[in-house]
Chains A and B, each alone.
Chain A
Amino acid sequence: DQQVKQNSPSLSVQEGRISILNCDYTNSMFDYFLWYKKYPAEGPTFLISISSIKDKNEDGRFTVFLNKSAKHLSLHIVPSQPGDSAVYFCAARNTGNQFYFGTGTSLTVIP
C-alpha cells in the first residue's frame, strides 16, 4: 500500500518559469516531509523539508508548501533552471523514524 503518491510521472517547464511538483499522502501520523532530487546513476539527495507544524518552508528558489487537511504538499521551484532537470521524490516520515517515498516526478527544464 503506497502511502506517499506522486501522480505526475513527468513535468516539462520552460527555463525561468515556475515548476510545481505535487505529492499526496494517506497517513495522518506523518510528522515530517522531505523532497529529494535524483540525477541518473546517483542516489537521491536531500533538497528541502518541512515539519508538520508548518505550512511553508523556503530555501532560495525552492519552497515547499504543506496542506495537512488535504494531506498534500508541493514543491515550487522559481525560476526554474536547466540544472534543475532531475527526478524529484517526495518523502514522509512517521514518528518511528521510518521514511516513505513517492514514485518520483521527472522534471525537464527546457532552455
Chain B
Amino acid sequence: DTAVSQTPKYLVTQMGNDKSIKCEQNLGHDTMYWYKQDSKKFLKIMFSYNNKELIINETVPNRFSPKSPDKAHLNLHINSLELGDSAVYFCASSQDVILGSGNTIYFGEGSWLTVV
C-alpha cells in the first residue's frame, strides 16, 4: 500500500481553468504538506497542515487553496491556472515531532501539472 498517494499523476489543462490535486496518507501522521518543484528543481514548501489546521502558508498566490477534510487528506485546489503554475506538486506527511527526536517526511509520487 502506498503510504502517501496523490492523484492525478499527470494533468494537462488550459490557462484559466480550475483544477484540484488530491492527497491521502495512511501513515497516521498529524502533519501534511504541499511542496512545489519548479523548473529550477527547487523543492519549495507551499503549505503545511497539522491536524487539519493550517500551520505554514508560504508566499503563494491566493489562487492556491489547500483543503484538509481530515488529518489523512490534504487537497490542493488551484483557481485560474496560469502558465507559471506548471510544475511538479508533491504531497508529503510527517509525524508530530518531539523536540530532540528524529523525524522524517514522506512524499507522494508527485503530480505533474502542465498548463497550456
Contact = CB atoms under 8 A, between A and B. Distances in A.
Interface stretch (B14-22, B62-70, B76-84, B105-113): B105-113
Interface residues of A, number: 28
B45 A97 contact: no
B59 to A, nearest CB: 11
A93 B48 CA distance: 13
Residue picked from A43, A91, A93, A96, most chain B C-beta under 10 Å: A43
Contacts of B40: 103
B74 interface: no
Nearest to A51: B102
A32 B103 contact: yes
B48 A98 contact: yes
A69 interface: no
B45 A98 contact: yes
Given A49-B104, A98-B56, A103-B40, A43 B97 contact: no
A59 B96 CA distance: 24
A43 B42 contact: no
Given A43-B4, A98-B56, A32 B102 contact: yes
B43 A97 contact: no
Contacts of B13: none
Given A95-B99, A97-B94, A97-B97, A46 B106 contact: yes
Interface of A: 2, 9, 31-32, 34, 36, 41-46, 49, 51, 87, 89, 91, 93, 95-104
15 contacts: A31-B99, A32-B102, A34-B105, A41-B109, A42-B109, A43-B4, A43-B92, A43-B108, A46-B106, A51-B102, A89-B43, A93-B103, A97-B103, A98-B56, A104-B41
Interface of B: 4, 31, 33, 35, 40-45, 48, 50, 55-56, 90, 92, 94, 96-97, 99-100, 102-110
